[in-house]
């Protein structure tokens, strides 16, 4: 998906919500366990119930990889069930030496090889340019680089200072030599509302994938106040707060209701920038 297509979807749906499919087989409603693939059935119903309210789905691959072959099958089926006009994210946090990164890129981008073709994959910047560039060889596919994460441990390295800048600022600056804002986004945690001003100094026009509202307590208002751009420039993710809104048979309707609350708040923010 191109940047323009993504912006058009945001305008059309009045939403920049990403629903996170962090589907844990131990947390899904009991009645689904009789299905051949309970995780896929859960995802399918969540997608059907929320697809008009969000512009993106993020599949955190850890929740699938931990189940071995069965998990990988649920992942492939879910990836192929996602509507084509919705931006898809493989949240896999990959990155390795070049030839290995090329394999990771095929795994998430090459339908012919792996049976999956996500629009984007999250990548760790730590190993530098040659670890990221194999993902950039695919047309209309995106790298979402970890910049400033939402967790407590982000302080361990991401705020370390060299002569001029903090480590996350160096990630933002250096990586812009590798790709434009048509192919690169950044992960910035919603739990760091105040840091968005600083982020926008270095990446004024990039899209940011923002996890951390909902279960982690980040504020959508703060994220928008400091992070929204004239093109919106935000994809805000919520996983647990939406998909586990109910553990009963009404789980999909409950997920829809939660997604709708967030979408309505987003519509108000989008109105402010004339969308």
Instruction: Determine, following the binding rule CB under 6 A, whether residue 149 of this chain makes contact with ligand LLZGTKA7.
Output: yes
Each residue 174-193 as x (binds ligand LLZGTKA7 by CB under 6 A) or -, in order, gives: -------------x-x----
Report whether 50 contacts 15 (CB < 8 A). Answer: no
Contact segment (CB under 6 A) with ligand LLZGTKA7 among 7-15, 146-154, 162-170, 224-232 equals 146-154
- Which strand (E) or helix (H) includes residue 222? helix 220-227
- CB atoms closer than 10 angstroms to residue 201: 10
Contact status: 95 vs ligand LLZGTKA7 (CB under 6 A): no
Strand, coil or helix: what is 17? strand
Please report the DSSP string for 95-148 in residue order. --SHHHHHHHHHHHH-HHHHS---SEEEE--TT-HHHHGGGGGSTT-EEEEEEE
Q: Choose the binding region for ligand LLZGTKA7 from 32-40, 112-120, 160-168, 212-220 (rule: CB under 6 A).
A: 212-220
**Other residues' Cβ atoms within 10 Å of the Cβ of residue 200:** 19
* Beta carbon of residue 21, minimum distance to ligand LLZGTKA7 (angstroms, whole number): 9
User: What are the b/e assignments for 58-82, b being 16+ CB within 10 Å?
Assistant: bbbbebbeebeeebbbbbebbbeeb
- Of positions 41, 91, 169, 269, contacts ligand LLZGTKA7 by CB under 6 A: 91
User: Is 268 annotated in the active site?
Assistant: no
Residue position matching structure tokens 């939403």:
15
Pair of tokens at residue 200: 């926008």
Asked if residue 188 lies in contact with residue 147, where contact means CB atoms within 8 angstroms, the answer is: yes
Interface positions, 44-63, toward ligand LLZGTKA7 (CB under 6 A): 60
Q: Which residue has the tokens 């959508």?
A: 220
Residue with smaller CB distance to ligand LLZGTKA7, 76 or 215: 215
Q: Interface with ligand LLZGTKA7 includes 237 (CB under 6 A)?
A: yes
Q: Give the torsion sign (CA, 260, 194, 6, 64).
A: negative
Using rule CB under 6 A, residue 238 touches ligand LLZGTKA7 = yes
| Per CB under 6 A, 73 contacts ligand LLZGTKA7 | no
Q: Which of 95, 193, 211, 233 binds ligand LLZGTKA7 (CB under 6 A)?
A: 211
- Residue (258 or 269) nearer to ligand LLZGTKA7, CB: 258
Q: Is 225 in the site for ligand LLZGTKA7 (CB under 6 A)?
A: no
Part of the chain binding ligand LLZGTKA7 (CB under 6 A), chosen from 46-54, 159-167, 199-207, 235-243:
235-243
Query: Is 124 an interacting residue with respect to ligand LLZGTKA7 (CB under 6 A)?
Result: no
Complex with ligand LLZGTKA7: residue 136 or 147, whichever CB lies closer: 147
Report the sign of the C-alpha dihedral through residues 12, 16, 22, 23, in that order.
Answer: negative
Cβ atoms 14, 275 nearer than 8 A: yes
Which residue among the candidates 93, 129, 141, 230 is catalytic per the annotation? Answer: 93
Instruction: Note the residues at the interface with ligand LLZGTKA7 (CB under 6 A).
Output: 20, 22, 60, 91, 149-151, 187, 189, 211-212, 214-216, 237-241
Residues labelled as active-site residues: 93
């Amino acid at each position: 998906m191109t940047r323009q297509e993504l912006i058009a979807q945001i305008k059309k749906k009045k939403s920049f919500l990403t629903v996170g499919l962090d589907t844990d087989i131990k947390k899904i409603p009991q009645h689904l366990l009789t299905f051949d693939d309970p995780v896929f059935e859960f995802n399918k119903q969540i997608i059907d119930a929320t697809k008009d309210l969000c512009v993106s789905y993020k599949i955190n691959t850890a929740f699938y990889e931990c189940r071995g072959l069965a998990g990988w099958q649920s992942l492939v089926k879910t990836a192929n069930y996602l509507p084509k006009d919705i931006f898809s994210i493989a949240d896999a946090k990959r990155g390795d030496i070049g030839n290995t990164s090329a394999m990771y890129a095929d795994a998430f981008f090459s339908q012919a090889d792996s049976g999956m073709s996500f629009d984007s994959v999250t990548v760790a910047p730590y190993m530098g340019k040659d670890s990221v560039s194999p993902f950039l060889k695919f047309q209309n596919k995106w790298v979402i680089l970890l910049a400033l994460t939402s967790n407590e441990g982000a302080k361990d390295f991401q705020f370390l200072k060299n002569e001029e800048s903090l480590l996350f600022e160096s990630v933002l600056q250096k990586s812009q030599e590798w790709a434009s804002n048509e192919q690169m986004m950044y992960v910035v945690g919603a739990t760091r509302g105040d840091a968005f001003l600083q982020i926008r100094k270095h990446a004024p026009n990039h899209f940011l994938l923002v996890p951390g509202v909902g279960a982690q307590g980040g504020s959508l208002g703060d994220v928008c106040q400091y992070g929204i751009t004239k093109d919106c420039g935000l994809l805000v993710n919520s996983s647990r707060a939406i998909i586990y809104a109910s553990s009963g048979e009404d789980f999909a309707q409950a997920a829809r209701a939660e997604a709708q609350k967030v979408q309505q708040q987003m519509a108000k923010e989008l109105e402010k920038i004339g969308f």
